[in-house]
């Protein structure tokens, strides 16, 4: 670890954005990363999600990759917990992939627009 490490806000920012995801909506790591200004660090968003296990207010299940694929489902306790959570919000999931992902997609920049 370097003394002058990256802004500790990175994780918090990811959490903040994730918390802002409306019910029944989903977004991608890249969208969050881009919103945070670290578009190249989409993977880091996923890393932050991994650390979000300690955060109860972070709906990591609403964050998927650009294809709407539940790539992180294996990181949840249950084998299909992530899918159940999404389906519980009215989102259809088939073959670990969100149906009509484009329709359910939510852009972090819509935080104020969505209302």
Interface positions with DNA (CB under 7 A): 1, 5-6, 10, 28-31, 33, 38, 40-47, 49-50, 52-53, 60-61, 63, 65-67, 71-72, 75-76, 82
Closest residue by Cα to residue 103 from 42, 24, 29: 24
Q: Which is nearer to DNA, 20 or 52 (CB)?
A: 52
Q: Which is nearer to DNA, 22 or 76 (CB)?
A: 76
Distance CA 91, CA 97 (A): 10
Q: Which is nearer to DNA, 2 or 115 (CB)?
A: 2
> The dihedral of CA 94, 95, 96, 102: what is its sign?
negative
Distance CA 99, CA 97 (A): 6
For residue 110, the minimal CB distance to DNA (Å) is 16
For residue 76, the minimal CB distance to DNA (Å) is 7
For residue 115, the minimal CB distance to DNA (Å) is 25
Beta carbons within 8 Å of 79's beta carbon, 6+ residues apart: 73
């Amino acid at each position: 670890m370097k003394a002058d490490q990256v802004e500790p806000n990175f994780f918090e920012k990811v959490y903040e954005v994730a918390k802002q995801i409306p019910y029944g909506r989903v977004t991608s790591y890249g969208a969050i990363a881009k919103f945070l200004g670290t578009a190249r660090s989409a993977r880091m968003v996923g890393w932050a999600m991994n650390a979000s296990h300690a955060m109860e207010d972070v709906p990591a299940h609403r964050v998927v990759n650009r294809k709407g694929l539940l790539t992180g489902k294996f990181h949840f306790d249950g084998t299909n917990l992530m899918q159940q959570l999404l389906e519980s919000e009215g989102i259809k999931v088939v073959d670990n992939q969100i149906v009509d992902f484009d329709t359910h997609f939510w852009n972090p920049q819509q935080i104020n627009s969505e209302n």
